[in-house]
Amino acid sequence: MIIVVKRDCDQKQLDNLLKWIKNQGLGVTLSQGDSSVVLGLIGDTPKVDIDLIRSMEIVESVKRIQEPYKSANRKFHPEDTVIDVCGHKFGGDNFQIIAGPCSVESERQVIEIAKAVKKAGANLLRGGAFKPRTSPYAFQGLKGTGLELLQKAKEETGMPIVTEIMSASHIDLFEKVDVLQIGARNMQNFELLKAVGKLKKPILLKRGLANTIEEWLMSAEYIMAEGNKQVILCERGIRTFEPLTRNTLDLSAIPLLKELTHLPIIVDPSHASGLSRLVKPLSLASVGAGADGLMIEVHNDPKNALCDGAQSLRPEQFEEVVKGIDVMLPIVNKKRV
Amino acid sequence: MIIVVKRDCDQKQLDNLLKWIKNQGLGVTLSQGDSSVVLGLIGDTPKVDIDLIRSMEIVESVKRIQEPYKSANRKFHPEDTVIDVCGHKFGGDNFQIIAGPCSVESERQVIEIAKAVKKAGANLLRGGAFKPRTSPYAFQGLKGTGLELLQKAKEETGMPIVTEIMSASHIDLFEKVDVLQIGARNMQNFELLKAVGKLKKPILLKRGLANTIEEWLMSAEYIMAEGNKQVILCERGIRTFEPLTRNTLDLSAIPLLKELTHLPIIVDPSHASGLSRLVKPLSLASVGAGADGLMIEVHNDPKNALCDGAQSLRPEQFEEVVKGIDVMLPIVNKKRV
Amino acid sequence: MIIVVKRDCDQKQLDNLLKWIKNQGLGVTLSQGDSSVVLGLIGDTPKVDIDLIRSMEIVESVKRIQEPYKSANRKFHPEDTVIDVCGHKFGGDNFQIIAGPCSVESERQVIEIAKAVKKAGANLLRGGAFKPRTSPYAFQGLKGTGLELLQKAKEETGMPIVTEIMSASHIDLFEKVDVLQIGARNMQNFELLKAVGKLKKPILLKRGLANTIEEWLMSAEYIMAEGNKQVILCERGIRTFEPLTRNTLDLSAIPLLKELTHLPIIVDPSHASGLSRLVKPLSLASVGAGADGLMIEVHNDPKNALCDGAQSLRPEQFEEVVKGIDVMLPIVNKKRV
Amino acid sequence: MIIVVKRDCDQKQLDNLLKWIKNQGLGVTLSQGDSSVVLGLIGDTPKVDIDLIRSMEIVESVKRIQEPYKSANRKFHPEDTVIDVCGHKFGGDNFQIIAGPCSVESERQVIEIAKAVKKAGANLLRGGAFKPRTSPYAFQGLKGTGLELLQKAKEETGMPIVTEIMSASHIDLFEKVDVLQIGARNMQNFELLKAVGKLKKPILLKRGLANTIEEWLMSAEYIMAEGNKQVILCERGIRTFEPLTRNTLDLSAIPLLKELTHLPIIVDPSHASGLSRLVKPLSLASVGAGADGLMIEVHNDPKNALCDGAQSLRPEQFEEVVKGIDVMLPIVNKKRV
C-alpha cells in the first residue's frame, strides 16, 4: 500500500500517522519528493482500512498494491478451483449449462421444462421459488412450495437444482437445494453472505447491479472467510446509461476475473439484456470471452403465446443455443461432460 | 399504461394479450396506427407487471402513465407527511439536523460527541453500531454493545437515536432505538424492508448506490405496504464514473421527490463525497435544494490527529455548518425548533 | 408518438397543443382516461422535436413509437447494407479484420507492421496520423506526414487505409484515405459529421463514450442525410463505474443494432479494455455476438520491450487471434475472402 | 508519479523501463517490496504519458501524484482568476447571472427577453445562434443572423453576449461576441479548443456529459496552453442511470474545483435537469455549493402557452429566482455589482 502525504503536511501529524502504521504491525518506507512524501507500507496490508487512511487530513491519496481479497485471490491459489455439483464440474476446462424457468409456477410446469431442457442438453436446473421483486405488489414466488416442486423435478430428471435464497432465516428450507444463489440485489447483504458462508454447499454469487469487480470479489471473500470455499461467480449485467437493454453485460469481466481469481465464473445472458432474442448471440459471446458456464431462462408455454418472446427462450430455441455452444467449446478449450 | 404492439403482430397473439389484460380486471382502448397498434390500459395499473408485458413477443414497448407506487405517491396524499420523533418533526416546514460519530467506539466517545453536537445545535444523535463493510476483515461495529452505548448517550443528552439495522433477526435489539436506518446496500433487501414495515417506528431509508428514484420509492412502498407509514428518505449520493468523489450527490432528486411523494427527504453530505471539506458547501446546497434535514458525521478526537480530515467534521466545524444552515432556512421557508 | 397530458391541464393549453400538432402537418387521436389525456400523433413524427414537447407545462411525458432515424433504420431498408472498400466488403455475411499500429511513427515502422498484419491475415490497415489526446502536452500524431506514410504502406502491401479525421478543415489531406474514422470524442461533432457526409468515402463512426445506441444512430443519420450512405459503426466501449477496464465493451449493442439498422457494425477490442491480454477473448466474444468485423491494434517492436503488453498485440499474438476468429466464423455464418 | 512493477518482472524489461524514464529527463527512486517493486518518478511528470506506462507488460499499475494540468492548477496559481467581461467580473467574491433564450428566434424575441432579464437583474445575455442538435432534422439555429440579432440586443440593453461556437471555421463570425461558449458535446473537440485558445476572449467551457473533472481541466488546459487564460468552467450535469432528469447535476464538483483550480466556475441548472420547475431549487443549491455564477434560460412567450413549462422560465419566474439568489449571496461571501 502506498500513501501520498500532502507536501505542506504538519510534521506532528505525519509522526502520528507513522506511529499508527507501526501499531498495525506494518513496516513502512518513506521517500521524500519535491511536492510530496510517499510512504510504502509493508506487511499484511489487505487488512488495512483504506477508507480510514484516505480520510486523514494529511493524506493526498492512497493506493493498494496488493488486492484486498485473499482467499479469492489467484496469487495465493494459482490453480483453478473446480466445484463439483453432483458430478457436474464448474471451473478448469469444464463448461456447464444451467437452464429452467424464471419462476416455479406449478408441478407440471417445472417438470415439463426440466425434462425439455435436459433433453436439449442442460446440465443443471434453475427455477425461482423466492423472487426478489421491485414492487411489493408483484408476485413474490411460491416460496417453500416452490422449493418442493424443484425437488420433485430433480427426482424426475436427476438434474441438480440452483435457486435463490433471500434471507438467512430461510436456510433450513434450502437443505435439499444443490446450489444456493445470492441475487444481485443481495450481493452486499453481508449478514446473508456470512450465513451461507457457514454452509457446505456451492454458492452462486451474482454481481450487484452497480458493483465493481473488486467489491464482487470482496463479497466472495465474505463467504470464503466463514469457511465455504465453493463460490461460483455469475456476471449478469451492470447498470449504465443505455436504455435499450435492461443492463449492460460486462463480458470484459470474464477474462479479467480469470486473472484475478481462481473461482469459476458463469454468465446469465437472459437477465442481462431482458430480451430473449439477444440470448443466443450473448451466449456465444460469453463462450468466446472464456466463461465457465451459462445460466439461461427457458419456458414451456407454446399454447399461451402471452409470454412468448420474454427473456425466456422456448425449449426448441434453447436447444439451438446449446448446439451453437457445443460447436464453439473446442475453440476455447472447454468441454461439457 | 400504454402498450405499443408491433405492426406485424400476429392477430391471435394480440387477442391473447387483450384477453390477459381483461383477466387482470383492466379496461383497454385500442388505437390502430400506420406502423403499430397502441393499447391504453385503464384501471389499477400500478399492480400490473410491466416487465412481463415488455417481455411479450408482440410488444414493442410499454410505458406507465401512473406511477407504480401508491402509498408513497403525492397524487393520492397531497399533504406533506410530518413524522414526529420524540417531538422533533420531519417534513412540512420543519428542518432537522442529525449528527454524531460514524461508529460508536466507546461510552466516553459517544457521550462526548453527543454533548458536543447537541451544544452545536443538532436535534438527533446518529452513530453506527452495526457497520456494513465491503471487507470481511474490516471492523464491523460494536453491535449490541454499541446500541447500549447509544442508549446511554440518549439518557445523558435527551437526543433521540438514529442507527442502522442490517438484518431482520436483530430487530429485538433495536427496541429502544428511535429511528431505524436502512443502509444503501440494503435498499432492496426486501425481507428486511418487510420486517421493518411491521414496526411502529420511523424508518430512515437511504437511497441505494445505483438505484433510480422510482426504485427508491418502491422500497418505501414495501415498508408502507406492511402498515408502517413513517418513512424518511435519505439521499446519499449515487455511483457514477467520476473518481474524485466517492459518490455523486444527486440534489436534483430533492425537488423531484417533493413533487412525487409526500414523505420527508433528508441528505447525508458526509457519505456522499467522503470528504469532510465538502460537507459545508454540500449542506448549504442541500438546504437550497429544499431538503427537510441533514445527517452529518462528527468526531471528537482533537488529540489524535489521525482521523482528522475524515468525512467527519470536528465539533467546531460542525457548529459553523449549523450556523450557516440556520441563516439559510428562512430563505427556503423552513424552521428548526 | 404518444403524448400523455396532465390530468389537471388547462383546456386552453391543450387546444394550443392540438393546434400546434396540426400545424406540423400531423394527425392526432385523443383518448381521455381517468387520470390523464393521451394523444397519439400520426404522420412524419421522426421530424418532431421530442424535447420541445417534453418541456411543455401540460405534458406529463412523451414517448416515440417510431425511431427518430430514417436512413439508418432497418424498417425502411430491410436488407443489410454492404460497403465495398477496394474489394473488401463490410456487412452481410462478410467479416473484415482491420489491424495496424496505434500511431504512425515512421516509414519503417508502419511498413513493417503493415506487412506483418497482412501476413497474419488482416484485410485493411489502420494507423493514427491525427491523434486526439486528453492532454495538450501529449504526442498528437505525425499529421499530414503520417497520412503520407500510410499511403506508402498501402502502396507496398495493397491494403486499404483506415485513419481518423479530427476536423473538417483537414478533409483535403484525406483524399487518398480509403475509410475515414470519426473518433468517439467527435461522435457528436455535428459540423464534422456534416462535412464527411458530403464525401463519397466510407466513414467508420465510433460510438461516443457515453452515448446511447439511439444517439449513435442519429449521428450516422447526420452523415447519411448529407448523401453519404456508407457508414460503418464501431463499438469501442462505454464509460461506466468499473475502474479495472478503461471502458466497458457493450457487446449487447451488436445484436440490438442488427435489428435496428442495416449498417455494418464492427468492434474495437483494443481501445475498449486498454489491455492487450483481453484482446483475444473479446475478439472471439465479438464474433459470437455477431459483429461484421474487428479493428485491432498491433505493434512490431520486439527489441524494445518497453511497449510490450500495451493495448497493442505483437504480430505473432495477432496471428493467433486471427486463427481463432477464422475457426469461429462458420458458426455465425460469416466468411472472410 | 508512482509505478508499481509486477513481482515476477523480467530484469531486462525493468532495466529498459528505467532507461526510458531517464531518457524522459526524469529522476527515479526504486523501493523493493515483498510482492512488487515501486518506482517513484521525480521531475516534470505532468508531461509523461500515463497510458503508455500503464500499457507496459511489466507494469501492474501507475498513479499520478501531481495533477496532469499546470496552467489551470491552483497549486501553481493560488489566487482566484478574475475574468472581466465588459465590467462584469467572474471569480473571486463576484457572482454573475447570465440569462436569455435557448435559441435566438427573431429580433423582437431576443430584444424583449434581453430587456426582461436585465430588468429582473441579469448581468449578461445568453442566446443560441448555432445549435447542436442530436437530430439532423431538428432546427439548427439562425446561425450568422442569430449572432447579428444578439448584437442588436446588446446595443439595446448594454448586456454582454454569451453564445456557443461549434466550429473553428466560424470564428470570424464571432468577432463581436463577448464570451464564446464551448458546448458539452465539443468539450473534447481538441481542434476547436486549440482555435479558441488563440483568441483574446473569455471562453465558457461546459463539462462534457460523461467527462471527469480531470478531463474537463485538461480541456481548459488545451485553451490555456495556446495563450488564452480566460476560461470560465460551467457545470451542466452528467449522464447517469437516473431517467427522471435529463442529466444529474454534479454540485460536489463546485467545491472540489475550487480546490483544484483558480478558474471561475458557474452552473447551468436549466440544461442539467431539463425541467423549469427545478431551476429555482437548483439555483439556490448552486449558490450554497459555492458557484461563481449561474446561466439560466428564460423565454418571453406568455401568449403562446405552448412552450410554457419548458426548461426555460418565464421572466417573472426568473425574477423570483434572482431575488432568492441575492438574499443568499452574503451567506457565501459573494456579491453582485
The per-residue pLDDT for range A92-136, each reduced to its tens digit, is: 999 999 999 989 989 999 999 999 999 999 999 999 999 999 989
Percent of residues, chain C, with pLDDT higher than 90: 68
Chain C contacts in chain A segment 270-309 (CB below 8 A): 272-273, 275, 277-278, 281-290
Cα nearest neighbour of B324 on chain D = D331
Q: How far is A97 from chain C (nearest CA, A)?
A: 17
DSSP string, C10-36: -HHHHHHHHHHHHHTT-EEEEEE-SSE
How many CB atoms within 10 Å of residue C30? 13
The per-residue pLDDT for range C95-106, each reduced to its tens digit, is: 999 999 989 989
C307 versus A60: which is more confidently predicted? A60
What are the backbone angles phi and psi of residue D83, rounded to the nearest 5°?
Answer: -110, 125
How many CB atoms within 10 Å of residue C204? 28
Mutate to test the interface with D, among C190, C192, C221, C273 (most CBs of D within 10 A): C190
B250 reaches D (C-beta below 8 A): yes
The per-residue pLDDT for range B290-311, each reduced to its tens digit, is: 999 999 999 876 445 344 446 7
Using a CB-CB cut-off of 8 Å, the residues of chain D touching A33 are 40, 42, 65
CB contact under 8 A, B65 and C61: yes
Kindly give the residue spans of alpha helices, DSSP state H, lying in B27-90: 50-54
A140 versus A94: which is more confidently predicted? A94
Q: How far apart are CA B46 and CA C302, in angstroms?
A: 63
CB contact under 8 A, C42 and B33: yes
Whether the pLDDT of residue C216 is over 70: the answer is yes
pLDDT bin (cut points 50, 70, 90) of residue D301 is low
Whether the pLDDT of residue C306 is over 70: the answer is no
**Chains in contact with A, counting 3 or more C-beta pairs less than 8 Å apart as contact:** B, C, D
Q: How far is B301 from chain A (nearest CA, A)?
A: 12
B36 reaches C (C-beta below 8 A): yes
Helix (H, G, I), strand (E, B) or coil at C106: coil
Asked if residues D127 and D300 have their Cβ atoms less than 8 Å apart, the reply is: no
Q: How far is A334 from chain B (nearest CA, A)?
A: 32
A139 reaches B (C-beta below 8 A): yes
Q: How far is A225 from chain B (nearest CA, A)?
A: 7
Using a CB-CB cut-off of 8 Å, the residues of chain D touching A4 are 2, 63, 65
Any bridge partners for residue B97, and if so which?
B294
Q: How far is B5 from chain C (nearest CA, A)?
A: 10
Looking at residue B89, what is its pLDDT?
Answer: 98
The per-residue pLDDT for range B227-281, each reduced to its tens digit, is: 999 999 999 999 999 998 889 999 999 999 999 999 999 999 998 777 888 999 9
The per-residue pLDDT for range D75-128, each reduced to its tens digit, is: 899 999 999 999 999 999 999 999 999 899 899 999 999 999 999 999 999 999
Cell of B6: 408491433
Average pLDDT score, chain C: 91
Query: CA triplet B197, A105, A265: central angle to 5 degrees?
Result: 80
CB contact under 8 A, C2 and B61: no
Give the one of B4, B66, B210 whose C-beta lies nearest to C65's C-beta.
B4
Any bridge partners for residue B63, and if so which?
B2
The per-residue pLDDT for range D44-79, each reduced to its tens digit, is: 887 787 777 877 778 888 888 788 899 999 989 999
Mean pLDDT of the A311-318 span: 88
Residue type, B288: G
Any bridge partners for residue B335, and if so which?
B94
Mean pLDDT of the C188-213 span: 97
Q: How far is B153 from chain D (nearest CA, A)?
A: 32
Using a CB-CB cut-off of 8 Å, the residues of chain A touching B273 are none
B310 reaches A (C-beta below 8 A): yes
Chain C contacts in chain D segment 166-205 (CB below 8 A): 166-169, 185-186, 188-191, 194
The per-residue pLDDT for range B99-124, each reduced to its tens digit, is: 999 899 899 999 999 999 999 999 99
Chain D contacts in chain B segment 203-242 (CB below 8 A): 210, 212-214, 238, 240-242
Query: CA triplet A162, A163, A164: central angle to 5 degrees?
Result: 140
Chain C contacts in chain D segment 71-100 (CB below 8 A): none
Whether the pLDDT of residue A297 is over 70: the answer is yes
CB contact under 8 A, C31 and B34: no
Using a CB-CB cut-off of 8 Å, the residues of chain D touching A78 are none
CB contact under 8 A, B241 and D324: no
Phi-psi region of A39 (alpha: psi -120 to 50; beta: other; left: phi over 0): beta
Residue type, A170: H
Any bridge partners for residue A238, and if so which?
A248
D47 reaches C (C-beta below 8 A): yes
Q: How far apart are CA D111 and CA D106, in angstroms?
A: 9
Residue type, B54: R
Enter the pTM of the model.
0.93
Looking at residue B198, what is its pLDDT?
Answer: 98
Which of A83, A89, A91, A36 minimizes the C-alpha distance to A63?
A36
C309 versus C262: which is more confidently predicted? C262
Distance of CA C162 to the CA centre of its chain: 13
Whether the pLDDT of residue A309 is over 60: the answer is no
Mean pLDDT of the D5-15 span: 82
Prediction ipTM score: 0.92
CB contact under 8 A, D16 and C51: no
- Taken as a whole, chain D contains a residue count of 337
The per-residue pLDDT for range A187-224, each reduced to its tens digit, is: 999 999 999 999 999 999 999 999 999 999 999 999 99
Q: How far apart are CA A220 and CA A206, in angstroms?
A: 10
The per-residue pLDDT for range B25-36, each reduced to its tens digit, is: 888 888 776 667
Using a CB-CB cut-off of 8 Å, the residues of chain A touching D38 are 2, 40, 65
Q: How far is A58 from chain C (nearest CA, A)?
A: 25
Percent of residues, chain A, with pLDDT higher than 70: 96
Cα nearest neighbour of B209 on chain D = D241
C16 reaches D (C-beta below 8 A): yes
How many CB atoms within 10 Å of residue B132? 18
- Taken as a whole, chain A contains a residue count of 337
The per-residue pLDDT for range C229-239, each reduced to its tens digit, is: 999 999 999 99
pLDDT bin (cut points 50, 70, 90) of residue A41 is confident
Give the one of A35, A66, A75 whose C-beta lies nearest to D66's C-beta.
A35
Q: How far apart are CA A45 and CA A75, in angstroms?
A: 15
Cell of D48: 509523461
What are the backbone angles phi and psi of residue D194, rounded to the nearest 5°?
Answer: -65, -40
CB contact under 8 A, A244 and C256: yes
Q: How far apart are CA D258 and CA A263, in angstroms?
A: 45
Q: How far is C141 from chain A (nearest CA, A)?
A: 29
Cell of B48: 400490473
Q: How far is A185 from chain B (nearest CA, A)?
A: 6
Any bridge partners for residue C98, and if so which?
C124, C295
Whether the pLDDT of residue D131 is over 50: the answer is yes
B137 reaches D (C-beta below 8 A): no
